[in-house]
């Protein structure tokens, strides 16, 4: 059995197939596993994530995958979400004792970045989502911004709340986001279950999360080959025939899961498949959006919190990597920018921060220095200690085609994992999963491809994990919607 591509989709497929008793040959072009969600060592010896990756409590398949890979204890979950505004003021949101969807309401009531009228509008929109069991009517072809305007959200609520959460969750601007995707984020993460919003952050560099995958494959007689790029996937008589390596050699197999990014797929499969009548024609319409990661190493401690989401800034998130890697407990919530207490510093020698800007269209043409200057100016507002600190090193990583854009009607462009070509299966965050381009989406696609392949081989098996159960009023309201959905 061949799996081409060692990102999360390929790894999830490979591990599930190996566990089902198949000898898997996993072929990855690069020298490391993990694809876009990986880390590597810079020439100076610092190991950096390609970009900070976070998961949420509602990502049940990714959690299952980490468990299978023996990496679950390397991801730490935080119960409190920390925000900061232009004046450096801090806000924290967390679940309380009320049943969903009301569990975040008391905390949100004190979210003073918004005025009463803004919050009343947000509460009405949340209720509209929850009462419809996550599926409000008449949203087809609508952008998230259109839906928010339909619900009369104030400009402050749009900019200081909806945009803050959704741009980073979906890597797209609100006017280019399918309303279904935006609504789904709030339903799954904040309304349906009290655990859904919890933020999970790896406490090790990303590549370390995948060490167990190699073992899962090789211990069952399979093989993981790195630096092994596939140049072509050949079909014969409507079925997968073999893969051709970059050095010209061929490998045949009983079946093949191709788990490369959609743009790379176009190089591998016959081009007729992507033409107007072809089964993959929709991929020509799939757009991509950029993410920029900025890594700063300061000579001293400049930040107390484990992470911060920023309101009214270009920078959307700051991650305190020194803290996140330290294994320390999250500090007590803070309500204003505080001078860091050096005596409690996890690494007194300095601090490593990573900043993330999703849908970073405005930064694509900017130089490294312009981006560094912009981010430093913003840090000075949020973390005053950075003003007196020396910046020892800065790295900017621009991912121009970071993820597919969740544009309105995007699902009509995404192919299923099983095509009409026998023995050939697709996986990748861009295939039909119902999820946006996330690690959870990638793992789901890998599990779905494995399920399709196993069913095809007469070995049907459930691999995909269920969503978190709906709770409280959300459960009751979602159940009421069921007869209508039939």
Ligand X SMILES: Cc1cc2nc3c(=O)[nH]c(=O)nc-3n(C[C@H](O)[C@H](O)[C@H](O)COP(=O)(O)OP(=O)(O)OC[C@H]3O[C@@H](n4cnc5c(N)ncnc54)[C@H](O)[C@@H]3O)c2cc1C
Residues that bind ligand X (CB under 6 A): 4-10, 27-30, 35-37, 51, 53-55, 229-230, 259-261, 264, 268, 291, 293, 399, 402-403, 428-429, 437-442
Q: Where are the beta strands (DSSP E) in 378-431?
A: 391-404, 424-426
**Beta-sheet pairing, 25-27 with 391-404:** unpaired
- In the complex with ligand X, the residue whose CB is nearer, 7 or 133, is 7
Q: Least Å distance between CB 35 and ligand X?
A: 2
- In the complex with ligand X, the residue whose CB is nearer, 268 or 454, is 268
- Per residue in 193-226, is it b (16+ CB within 10 Å) or e — as a string? bbbbbbbbbbebbbbbbbebbbebbeebebebee
- In the complex with ligand X, the residue whose CB is nearer, 30 or 366, is 30
- In the complex with ligand X, the residue whose CB is nearer, 174 or 437, is 437
- According to DSSP, the residues that pair with 240 across neighbouring strands are 235
Q: Least Å distance between CB 441 and ligand X?
A: 6
- In the complex with ligand X, the residue whose CB is nearer, 294 or 439, is 439
Q: Least Å distance between CB 464 and ligand X?
A: 16
CA–CA distance, 406 with 215 (Å, rounded to integer): 35
- Cα 450 to its chain centre, rounded Å, is 21
Residues 65/8, Cβ–Cβ less than 8 Å: yes
Q: Least Å distance between CB 304 and ligand X?
A: 22
- In the complex with ligand X, the residue whose CB is nearer, 6 or 340, is 6
- Give the three-state DSSP class for 73: helix
CA 49-14-170 angle, 5° bins: 45
Give how far Cα 140 sits from Cα of 137, 143, 437, Å: 8, 9, 20
Q: Least Å distance between CB 115 and ligand X?
A: 30
- In the complex with ligand X, the residue whose CB is nearer, 39 or 153, is 39
Residues 427/257, Cβ–Cβ less than 8 Å: yes
Determine how many CB atoms are found less than 10 A away from the CB of residue 40: 15
Sign of CA dihedral 438, 440, 441, 447: positive
Q: What share of the chain is helix, strand, coil (3-state, %, to 5)?
A: 35, 20, 40
Give how far Cα 462 sits from Cα of 444, 447, 448, Å: 12, 9, 9
Exposure on the CB side of residue 104, measured as CA atoms within 13 A = 28
Q: Least Å distance between CB 211 and ligand X?
A: 16
Q: Least Å distance between CB 15 and ligand X?
A: 13
Q: Which residue in 54, 116, 1, 78 sits closest to 439, CA to CA?
A: 54
- In the complex with ligand X, the residue whose CB is nearer, 9 or 156, is 9
Q: Least Å distance between CB 123 and ligand X?
A: 27
- In the complex with ligand X, the residue whose CB is nearer, 25 or 322, is 25
Q: Least Å distance between CB 455 and ligand X?
A: 21
């Amino acid at each position: 059995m061949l799996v081409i591509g060692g990102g999360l989709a390929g790894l999830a497929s490979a591990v599930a197939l190996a566990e089902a008793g198949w000898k898997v040959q996993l072929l990855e072009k690069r020298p490391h596993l993990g694809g876009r969600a990986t880390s590597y060592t810079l020439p100076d010896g610092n190991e950096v994530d390609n970009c900070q990756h976070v998961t949420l409590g509602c990502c049940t398949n990714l959690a299952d995958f980490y468990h299978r890979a023996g990496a679950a204890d390397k991801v730490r979950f935080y119960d409190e979400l920390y925000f900061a505004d232009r004046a450096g003021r801090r806000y924290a949101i967390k679940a309380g004792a009320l049943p969903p969807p009301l569990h975040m309401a008391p905390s949100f009531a004190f979210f003073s970045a918004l005025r009463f009228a803004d919050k009343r509008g947000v509460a009405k929109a949340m209720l509209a989502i929850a009462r419809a069991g996550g599926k409000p009517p008449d949203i087809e072809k609508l952008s998230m911004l259109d839906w928010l305007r339909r619900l009369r959200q104030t400009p402050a609520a749009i900019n200081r709340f909806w945009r803050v959460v959704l741009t980073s969750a979906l890597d797209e601007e609100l006017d280019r986001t399918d309303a279904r995707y935006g609504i789904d984020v709030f339903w799954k993460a904040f309304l349906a279950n009290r655990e859904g919003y919890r933020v999970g952050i790896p406490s090790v560099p990303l590549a370390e999360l995948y060490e167990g995958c190699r073992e899962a494959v090789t211990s069952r007689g399979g093989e993981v080959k790195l630096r092994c790029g596939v140049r072509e996937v050949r079909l014969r008589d409507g079925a997968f025939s073999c893969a051709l390596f970059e050095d010209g050699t061929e490998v045949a197999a009983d079946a093949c899961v191709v788990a490369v990014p959609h743009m790379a797929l176009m190089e591998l499969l016959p081009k007729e498949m992507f033409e107007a009548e072809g089964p993959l024609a929709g991929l020509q319409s799939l757009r991509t959006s950029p993410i920029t990661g900025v890594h700063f190493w300061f000579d001293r401690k400049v930040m107390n919190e484990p992470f911060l989401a920023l309101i009214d800034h270009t920078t959307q998130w700051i991650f305190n990597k020194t803290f996140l890697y330290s294994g320390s407990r999250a500090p007590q919530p803070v309500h204003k920018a505080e001078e860091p207490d050096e005596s409690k510093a996890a690494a007194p020698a300095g601090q490593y921060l990573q900043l993330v800007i999703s849908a970073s269209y405005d930064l694509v043409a900017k130089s490294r220095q312009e981006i560094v200057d912009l981010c430093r100016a913003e840090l000075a507002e949020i973390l005053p200690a950075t003003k007196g600190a020396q910046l020892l090193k800065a790295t900017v990583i621009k991912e121009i085609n970071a993820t597919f854009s969740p544009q309105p009607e995007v699902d009509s462009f995404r192919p299923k994992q099983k095509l009409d070509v026998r023995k050939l299966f697709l996986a990748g965050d861009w295939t039909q999963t119902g999820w946006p381009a996330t690690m959870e989406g990638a793992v789901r696609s890998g599990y779905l491809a494995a399920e399709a392949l196993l069913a095809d081989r007469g070995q049907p098996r459930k691999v995909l994990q269920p969503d978190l159960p709906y709770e409280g009023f959300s459960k009751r309201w979602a159940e009421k919607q069921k007869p209508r959905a039939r």
